[in-house]
A = this chain, B = another copy of it.
Amino acid sequence: MELDTLDANLAAMGERHAGRALRTHVKAFKSTAMATRVAASGHPTFCCATIREVEGMAAAGLGDDLLLANEVLDARRLGTVAEAGARVTVAVDSPETIRAAVDGGVREVLIDVNVGLPRCGCDPSEAGRLADAARAAGLEVRGVMGYEGHVVGLEDRAARRAGVEAAMELLLAAHADVGGEVVSAGGTGTYDINPWATEIQAGSFLLMDTAYTQLDLPFRQALFVLGRVISVNRTHGFAVADVGLKSLGMDHRNPTIDGHRVWFCSDEHITFAPSGDTALPAVDDLIRVVPAHVDPTVARHERFMVVRGHELVDEWPIDLRHW
């Protein structure tokens, strides 16, 4: 993981969203060491996808304002974290998740609103009623969240912007019924075209991946999986390195290797061949594999090897994995 690139990505995001206007999404890197660096740069609020992430962040002293941007039916572990002094907010989108927050001892919630992505979130028309129910049950309703994930990847910027606007229109209508200070939304792909949100939930911008690099964003790839060439087939002109399915997130398909074409991945192998003027590598060469999707790739590893150029300057545990 290239530290200078990470810092540059963080600075570029910070120029647009100062302080708490960025709620960095921990799921993209699952490391309290990296979160500490983000907090030190002036962004103390975070967003989590799992209870484990909330627990780990609080234990690392990063519990200033943690949002579990996800629904849970058993919030007792979250209640324990809040009881110990961290500020914990959880997303709710149904009577059952409101009940779970109350029963678990979580005191603050956001009403999660479906703004077009077929995933969690209540119908915008139900948001006000849910907020009333939450308040009646003794919860503090801080506002709304709604993730426009169905448009964050649109390559055409105008289409992306129109999609965000339509989604945020739904969210703001819900917010009018719900009240509260927070309108939480957005992501790396929409970080500069969502002026409606009071805070942006972005995480991928820190490490980036090949999907997001297709967009017109100022962030650069900071994460690579370093592999070693273990076999070279001169007859057929391909090579094999020791980076495979068990070290990669594969839902965005194959990773890439500069100057080569990736044929396929097996559990512990990647088979690839030179393209253009690139030479066939030699056995024992090192190669950089660029994962197509960073989040699930990170979750397969125990630590980041932090480098500046060719120098290893630190190791950061990926300590927020599992559930």
**A238's contact among B118, B284, B300, B301, by CB below 8 Å, is which?**
B118
- Shortest Cβ distance from A100 into B: residue: B284
Contact with B along A265-309 (1 / 0, CB 8 A): 111110100000000000110000000010110011110000000
**A119's contact among B93, B235, B269, by CB below 8 Å, is which?**
B269
What would be 13 A-B contacts, judged by CB atoms less than 8 Å apart? A49-B268, A97-B231, A118-B233, A118-B236, A118-B264, A119-B269, A120-B240, A120-B269, A123-B235, A245-B295, A245-B296, A246-B296, A250-B250
- Shortest Cβ distance from A321 into B: residue: B246
A230 partner residues in chain B, CB cutoff 8 A: 70-73, 97, 120
Question: Is the CB of A50 closer than 8 A to any CB of chain B?
Answer: yes
**A73's contact among B96, B247, B283, by CB below 8 Å, is which?**
B283
Q: Smallest distance from the beta carbon of A283 to chain B beta carbons, Å?
A: 4
**Copies of this chain, tallied across the complex:** 2
Report how far A264 CA is from B263 CA in the complex, Å: 25
A299 partner residues in chain B, CB cutoff 8 A: 246, 300
Q: Smallest distance from the beta carbon of A200 to chain B beta carbons, Å?
A: 17
Q: Smallest distance from the beta carbon of A186 to chain B beta carbons, Å?
A: 16
Asked if B284 and A73 make an inter-chain contact with CB atoms under 8 angstroms apart, the answer reads yes
Report how far A321 CA is from B114 CA in the complex, Å: 37
Asked if A119 and B266 make an inter-chain contact with CB atoms under 8 angstroms apart, the answer reads yes
Question: Is the CB of A106 closer than 8 A to any CB of chain B?
Answer: no
Not counting A94-B232, A118-B238, A118-B271, a sample of 6 additional A-B residue pairs whose C-beta atoms are within 8 angstroms of each other reads A71-B230, A73-B283, A94-B283, A246-B321, A250-B250, A267-B296
Report how far A93 CA is from B269 CA in the complex, Å: 15
A50 partner residues in chain B, CB cutoff 8 A: 268
Question: Is the CB of A249 closer than 8 A to any CB of chain B?
Answer: yes
Report how far A283 CA is from B120 CA in the complex, Å: 11
Q: Smallest distance from the beta carbon of A152 to chain B beta carbons, Å?
A: 12
Q: Smallest distance from the beta carbon of A121 to chain B beta carbons, Å?
A: 7
Contact with B along A217-259 (1 / 0, CB 8 A): 0000000000010111101101010100111011100000000
Asked if A267 and B49 make an inter-chain contact with CB atoms under 8 angstroms apart, the answer reads yes
Name A68-90 residues within 8 Å CB distance of B: 70-73
Report how far A245 CA is from B296 CA in the complex, Å: 6
A97 partner residues in chain B, CB cutoff 8 A: 230-231, 283
- Shortest Cβ distance from A30 into B: residue: B246
Question: Is the CB of A310 closer than 8 A to any CB of chain B?
Answer: no
**A27's contact among B96, B114, B233, B268, by CB below 8 Å, is which?**
B268
A263 partner residues in chain B, CB cutoff 8 A: 118
A249 partner residues in chain B, CB cutoff 8 A: 245, 250
